[in-house]
Amino acid sequence: MRFVDEAKIYIKSGDGGPGCVSFRREKYVPRGGPDGGDGGKGGDIVAVASRSHRTLLDMKFNQHHVARRGGPGEGSNRTGKSSEDVEIVVPVGTVIRDMETGELLADMIEDGQRVVLARGGIGGKGNARFKTATNQAPRYAQDGLPGEEKTVSLELKLIADVGIVGLPNVGKSTLIARISAARPKIADYPFTTLKPNLGVVRLGDRQTFVVADIPGLIEGAHQGAGLGTKFLRHIERTSILLHIIDISKEPFTGAWNDFETINSELASFSPAVREKPQIVAISKIDLTSTRERLDETAAFFREKGIRIFPVSAATGEGIRELLQEIGKRLDDYSRAQTEG
């Protein structure tokens, strides 16, 4: 399935139905009065969040969503039938904006959440509504009010507890495959990961959390380099970041340099993202080149006040300690949010 996290659609709610002009015509009722009913309400356009939807792919192939107009009023004071609403099902985490004004229409963060994006027009009044002491036989009725129409943008921001960041090929996908049931594509070339991967991690009997592998970060990403800003938005909803660094590569440019490169991109994209709590892990410690540089790298980071977690997704070494630290940080984050 293609991962699609942006879409643009046109929506139009239903117009209200017209009111009716009608007069009672009954035997033995010589002066039947007006009895035209009101028109029915037009259908709304409603966004519905669903965890069963993972992408916005459906919106790419169905870009027009139009509700029916309300039914016309009828004689005998019968109100026209209101039209059914049109539901647009989107993944949890979708942000919906009016493309003309930029107004935030909805932030779909809960499964089953419903938000009316465009309200249907109210039905027009029938002629029975206009009868007065001085106007016993009104021969007019109202048209229904028009429905709302607009073009909206849909932007999916994955909801995960932990965002895994780092330069290409540092082992993000391999790690998420090790600690969860996710099976991302893994290969030894830049930008193997072309879509975010989500995995659910179980820590002990009670605690679980969701991790997201965020692809495409390189120097200049916030300006469009590499995969650009295509996936940076998915970091915004995470609670903490897991920053993975690979020190096995040749030529070796320095772990701190790689660390600063990614953090500079995060800060340029959003200062709030840069301020998120980070856990730093050194990957591929099963390799000789990593082992040779590990002590020096750990000491340098320690001087900066940062503890690093050496791990090997291939052998599982250090994975348990890393997951326990993630669990502890998530607990701390939840408490801070509750107290704050």
Domain identity same for 150 and 179: no
- Other beta carbons within 10 angstroms of residue 71's beta carbon come to 22
Q: Residue 201: CB partners within 8 Å, gap ≥ 6?
A: 179, 180, 208, 209, 210, 211, 323, 326
- Other beta carbons within 10 angstroms of residue 24's beta carbon come to 14
Q: What are phi and psi of 294, to 5 degrees?
A: -65, -50
Domain identity same for 206 and 114: no
* Of 104, 145, 139, 106, the residue nearest 123 (C-alpha): 145
Query: What is the Cα 192 distance to its own chain's centre?
Result: 23
Domain identity same for 118 and 220: no
Is 274 contained in some domain? yes
Coil, strand or helix at 97: strand
- pLDDT value at position 272? 87
Q: Rounded CA gap, 315 and 128, in Å?
A: 81
Coil, strand or helix at 248: coil
Is 69 contained in some domain? yes
Is 221 contained in some domain? yes
Q: Domain boundary at 156, 172, 198, which? A: 156
Domain identity same for 131 and 177: no
- Structural domain boundaries, residue 46: 6-156
Is 273 contained in some domain? yes
The kind and range of the H/E element at 116 are strand 114-118
Domain identity same for 145 and 181: no
CATH classification of the domain holding 273 = 3.40.50.300
Q: Domain boundary at 156, 180, 214, which? A: 156
Domain identity same for 145 and 183: no
CATH classification of the domain holding 73 = 2.70.210.12
How many domains in the chain? 2
Domain identity same for 266 and 239: yes
Domain identity same for 227 and 114: no
Class of residue 210 by CB neighbours under 10 A (exposed 0-12, middle 13-18, buried 19+): middle
Q: Which alpha helices (DSSP H) does 158-311 contain, by range?
A: 172-179, 255-269, 271-274, 288-303
Domain identity same for 83 and 103: yes
Domain identity same for 85 and 169: no
Domain identity same for 290 and 166: yes
Q: What are phi and psi of 223, to 5 degrees?
A: -105, 0
* Of 51, 307, 52, 323, the residue nearest 208 (C-alpha): 323
Is 1 contained in some domain? no
- pLDDT value at position 27? 73
Domain identity same for 15 and 132: yes
Q: Rounded CA gap, 172 and 258, in Å?
A: 14
Query: Which single residue is written with the structure tokens 């090929």?
Result: 169
**One-letter amino acid for residue 231 of the chain:** F
- pLDDT value at position 230? 59
- pLDDT value at position 340? 58
Is 225 contained in some domain? yes
Please, are residues 157 and 95 in contact by the beta-carbon 8 Å criterion?
Answer: yes
Tens-digit pLDDT profile for the chain (340 aa)?
Answer: 445 678 999 999 999 999 999 998 777 766 678 999 999 999 999 999 998 887 888 898 899 999 999 999 999 999 999 999 999 999 888 999 999 999 999 999 999 999 999 999 999 999 999 999 889 889 999 999 999 999 999 998 877 889 898 888 888 888 988 888 766 555 454 444 456 777 888 887 667 888 888 775 655 444 444 444 556 777 888 899 999 999 998 777 789 999 998 898 888 888 888 899 999 999 999 999 999 999 999 999 999 999 999 999 999 999 999 999 999 998 888 787 766 5
Is 128 contained in some domain? yes
- Other beta carbons within 10 angstroms of residue 332's beta carbon come to 13
Q: Domain boundary at 101, 130, 156, which? A: 156
What CA–CA distances, in Å, run from 100 to 66, 97, 105, 149?
18, 9, 12, 11
Please, are residues 169 and 210 in contact by the beta-carbon 8 Å criterion?
Answer: no
